[in-house]
């Protein structure tokens, strides 16, 4: 089974595409693991920030973009703040997630959140119980946001069309 042990090919093109997208500090990582040691998500999952950075350096695109791990970061930025090499880790993860979404890797739950934003201008809906509670508190049932500002909501819809977000989410 020697062929199974063949090392995976390094793909500099993927690394370059990440660097070109603005995540140039990924090349500075020297694998100390401070990020992994600082990661609250890594404490409870198999997500290893250091490994993610190494995979990008080696260009292992297929281990990165489709992975669930990529979406386990809470963006708390503890790793960024402690990285002795100034690697902007959260920013790199954002770049990778943007690339993953463009390649079609987007969870249904996230698509629904995105659709809510495009439809209402907010990430979550307003239910009857909360509308009533707002009134009990002396507030308008619907807050004075794009929920009541129809012109404002049209602006949101134009923006997501202009950036191509509507097509991206589908």
Partner 1 sequence: MAEYALFLGCIMPLRYPGIETATMEVAKALEMDMEVLEGTSCCPAPGVFRSFDRNTWLALGARNLALAEEKGTQIVTVCNGCFGSLWEVADLIEKDEKKKEYANSILKEIGKQYNGGVKVRQLAEILYTEIGLDAIAAKVTNKLDYMKAAVHYGCHYFKPDIVKKIDNRERPKTLDELLEVTGATSVDYRHKNMCCGAGGGVRSRAKEVAQAMTDQKLEAMKESGANCIVDICPFCHLQFDQGQSGLGTSFPVIHLSQLYVMAFGLDEAINGFEAHTVPVKF
- Contact set with partner 1 (CB under 8 A): 40-41, 43-45, 68, 71-78, 80-81, 94, 97-98, 101, 106-107, 109-110, 113-114, 117, 121-126, 130, 133-134, 136-139, 143-146, 149, 152-156, 158-160, 162-165, 168-169
Closer by beta carbon to partner 1, 10 or else 140? 140
Q: Shortest gap between Cβ of 138 and partner 1 (angstroms)?
A: 7
DSSP 69: G
Q: Shortest gap between Cβ of 10 and partner 1 (angstroms)?
A: 27
Q: Shortest gap between Cβ of 62 and partner 1 (angstroms)?
A: 20
**How many secondary structure helices (H) and strands (E) does the chain include?**
10, 0
Closer by beta carbon to partner 1, 11 or else 143? 143
Contacts 24+ apart (CB under 8 A), 119-123: 120/146, 120/147, 120/153, 121/145, 121/146, 121/147, 121/152, 121/153, 121/156, 122/146, 122/147
Closer by beta carbon to partner 1, 12 or else 125? 125
The C-alpha R_g of the chain, in whole angstroms, comes to: 21
Closer by beta carbon to partner 1, 51 or else 96? 96
Q: Shortest gap between Cβ of 4 and partner 1 (angstroms)?
A: 31
- Cα(53)–Cα(126) distance, integer angstroms: 39
Closer by beta carbon to partner 1, 11 or else 165? 165
Q: Shortest gap between Cβ of 57 and partner 1 (angstroms)?
A: 21
DSSP 50: H
- Cα(168)–Cα(128) distance, integer angstroms: 31
């Amino acid at each position: 089974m020697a062929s199974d042990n063949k090392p995976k090919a390094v793909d500099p093109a993927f690394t370059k595409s990440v660097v070109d997208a603005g995540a140039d500090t990924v090349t500075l990582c020297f694998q100390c693991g401070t990020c992994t040691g600082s990661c609250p998500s890594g404490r409870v999952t198999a997500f290893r920030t250091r490994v993610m950075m190494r995979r990008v350096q080696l260009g292992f695109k297929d281990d990165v973009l489709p992975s669930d791990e990529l979406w386990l970061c809470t963006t708390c930025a503890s790793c960024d703040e402690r990285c002795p090499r100034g690697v902007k880790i959260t920013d790199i993860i954002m770049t990778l997630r943007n690339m993953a979404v463009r390649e079609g890797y987007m969870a249904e739950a996230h698509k629904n959140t995105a659709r809510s934003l495009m439809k209402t201008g907010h990430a979550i809906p307003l239910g009857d119980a909360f509308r009533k509670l707002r009134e009990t508190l002396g507030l308008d049932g619907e807050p004075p946001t794009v929920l009541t500002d129809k012109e404002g909501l049209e602006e949101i819809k134009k923006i997501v069309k202009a950036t191509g977000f509507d097509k991206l989410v589908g």
